[in-house]
Amino acid sequence: MIVCVCRRVSDREIARHARAGMGFDDIQFELGVATQCGQCESCARDVVAQCSATAPVAAIQLASSITESRAWTSSQASTQG
């Protein structure tokens, strides 16, 4: 998904840089994310926090939040019925 429309930066690009050990400031400098209108900054920071090399449990937390969502539980109920 595109996080920064101004610079056309996706969550995958941000995640790849975060997993390589870069912090938000480094990613911002490298990709230009959140340097124009600034509307994407909170989302970009969330992606960095979730994918940071210093927080390897982020993927587990993200998976938990997905499986706890209403869309997941309703799709599970329909497949079991």
For 26-66, how does the pLDDT look when each residue is reduced to its tens digit (9 = 90+)?
Answer: 999 999 999 999 999 999 999 999 987 555 554 555 555 55
CATH number of the domain bearing residue 10: 1.10.10.1100
- What pLDDT shows up at residue 32? 96
> Above 60 in pLDDT, residue 1?
yes
- What pLDDT shows up at residue 55? 56
Average pLDDT (62-79) is 54
Tell me the residue range of the domain where 20 lies: 2-80
Number of domains the chain is built from: 1
- What pLDDT shows up at residue 64? 55
Instruction: Specify which residues 9 forms β-bridges with.
Output: 4
Q: What are the φ/ψ torsions at residue 17 (nearest 5 degrees)?
A: -70, -40
- What pLDDT shows up at residue 61? 54
Give whole-number Cα distances, 21 to 17, 18, 53, 72, 79, in Å. Answer: 7, 5, 6, 31, 40
Give the position of tokens 């400098």: 29
Model pTM score: 0.65
Burial class, 26, CB count within 10 angstroms (exposed 0-12 / middle 13-18 / buried 19+): middle
